[in-house]
Amino acid sequence: MMYALGAMVLVLALVTLLSAVEIVQAYEQRALTVLGSFRGLLDPGIHLIPPFVSRTYRFDRRVQTIDVPTQEAITRDNSPVTADAVVYIRVVDAERSFLNVENYRRATALLAQTSLRAVIGDMELDQTLSRRDEINRRIRTSLQGPTDEWGVEVEMVEVKEVLPTRGVLDAMEEQTSAERRRRAMILEAQGERRAAVETAEGERTANVLSAQGEKVASVLEAQGDAISTVLRARSAESMGERAIVDKGMETLASVGQGESTTFVIPQELTSLLGRYGQQLSGSDVQDSAGLDSLEFDDDDRELLGLDSVAEMLEPETDNGAEAAPEWESTYEGE
């Protein structure tokens, strides 16, 4: 009997000890109540509490995730969509989380659902599909006020997806296809127009070059005819002068055979002798340039236009070279 009573006392002491010792982990806090009265928060470590009449409530201080279920909403332009999100929260005041709200996780999840529907309903369909950052920011702003009263801080909100209904998706796909076809037709028309412009510019350039070539050929042909005519005239003049000189020399020879010692020589013959005397006899008659019938002086070259051929060709080449930038600017303007 005594052994049984001792065993019961030992068991009761062990149970009392276990009920009086509370171990709090490093990442949590616990709210303590004694006989239903709030007695404060227990920080990480070992704590002794009144046995059998105490109760603790655990609050995790780490970042927690709340998955917001898929919600159906109507956008401002009356397009039905479905959306879901993830909310990241952290308990910053365990006392308020214990005293001000029954279940802070459930309350935050329900508030996130209503905020998600409200934000989407205030935006158009295109905005809900392209402005995820704005949706996240607005949901977080709407959650921060109430959750502060619950001792909960909203770290981040992320919308996972926003999906229009099947009918809206089909209409969007048809719209996208039509837009792509329109762009393809525009690009094709622009390509044909540029090809036509290039063809016209090429034909114009070819016509200009052909006309310039014909012009230069005509000028060269005319100058060649003029030079040939002048050369023939010079040759005839030279042959006439040589004939006069030869005849004069024969006359001088016959005169020299006469008995008279006085000779009358025409001035023209004297001039001719002065021009050809040195070539014909090697005498010291005045130096002369001789017969230059194949050379042209400055007046003849200017009359025939011999020096203007290069000047005439160079501007044509420059004009042809300057045409390219003009065509390039035309294409760039397209």
| pLDDT tens for each residue of 270-305 | 555 555 554 444 444 444 444 444 455 665 565 555
Instruction: Note whether 241 and 272 are within 8 A (CB).
Output: yes
Mean pLDDT of 206-222: 83
Mean pLDDT of 43-71: 91
Question: What is the CATH architecture of 63-164?
Answer: 2-Layer Sandwich (3.30)
The pLDDT assigned to 268 comes to: 54
Instruction: Note whether 157 and 87 are within 8 A (CB).
Output: yes
The pLDDT assigned to 210 comes to: 86
Mean pLDDT of 145-163: 92
The pLDDT assigned to 285 comes to: 42
Distance between CA atoms of residues 140 and 68, nearest Å: 13
The pLDDT assigned to 44 comes to: 92
Residue 284, token pair as written in the block? 């010291």
3-state secondary structure of 6: helix
Mean pLDDT of 107-125: 93
> Quick check: 320 pLDDT over 50?
no
Greatest Cα pair distance in the chain: 202
> Quick check: 115 pLDDT over 70?
yes
> Quick check: 315 pLDDT over 80?
no
Residue 303, token pair as written in the block? 């009359």
31 phi and psi angles, rounded to 5 deg:
-85, 130
The pLDDT assigned to 331 comes to: 41
Residue 6, token pair as written in the block? 């001792």
For 235, 248, 291, the CA distances from 231, given in Å and listed in that order, are: 6, 25, 13
CA–chain centroid gap for 158, Å, is 33
3-state secondary structure of 220: helix
Predicted confidence band at 119 (pLDDT cuts at 50, 70, 90)?
A: very high
Residue 118, token pair as written in the block? 């409200």
For residue 149, give the nearest of 108, 88, 114 by alpha carbon. Answer: 108
Residue 328, token pair as written in the block? 């390039």
pLDDT higher at 3 or 209: 209
Instruction: Note whether 135 and 159 are within 8 A (CB).
Output: yes
How many helices, marked H, and strands, marked E, lie in the chain? 9, 8
Predicted confidence band at 14 (pLDDT cuts at 50, 70, 90)?
A: confident
pLDDT higher at 290 or 132: 132
Q: Where are the domains of the chain?
A: 14-59, 63-164
Instruction: Note whether 96 and 129 are within 8 A (CB).
Output: no
Place of tokens 């599909």: 129
Helices 104-121/132-149 angle, 10° precision = 140
pLDDT higher at 168 or 277: 168
3-state secondary structure of 136: helix
3-state secondary structure of 203: helix
Mean pLDDT of 74-98: 92
The pLDDT assigned to 245 comes to: 62
> Quick check: 142 pLDDT over 80?
yes
The pLDDT assigned to 24 comes to: 92
The pLDDT assigned to 309 comes to: 54
The pLDDT assigned to 253 comes to: 62
Place of tokens 């276990």: 18
> Quick check: 107 pLDDT over 90?
yes
The pLDDT assigned to 333 comes to: 41
The pLDDT assigned to 214 comes to: 83
The region of weakest confidence among 35-49, 120-134, 237-251 is 237-251
Mean pLDDT of 121-126: 90
First to last CA, the chain: 112
Q: What integer best gives the mean pLDDT of the chain?
A: 77
The region of weakest confidence among 59-63, 125-129, 233-237, 256-260 is 256-260
Residue 275 neighbours by CB under 8 Å, 6+ apart: 241, 288, 290, 291
The pLDDT assigned to 133 comes to: 92
Mean pLDDT of 49-68: 92
- Rounded to the nearest 10°, the torsion over CA 292, 298, 304, 307 is 110
**pTM, rounded to two decimals:** 0.53
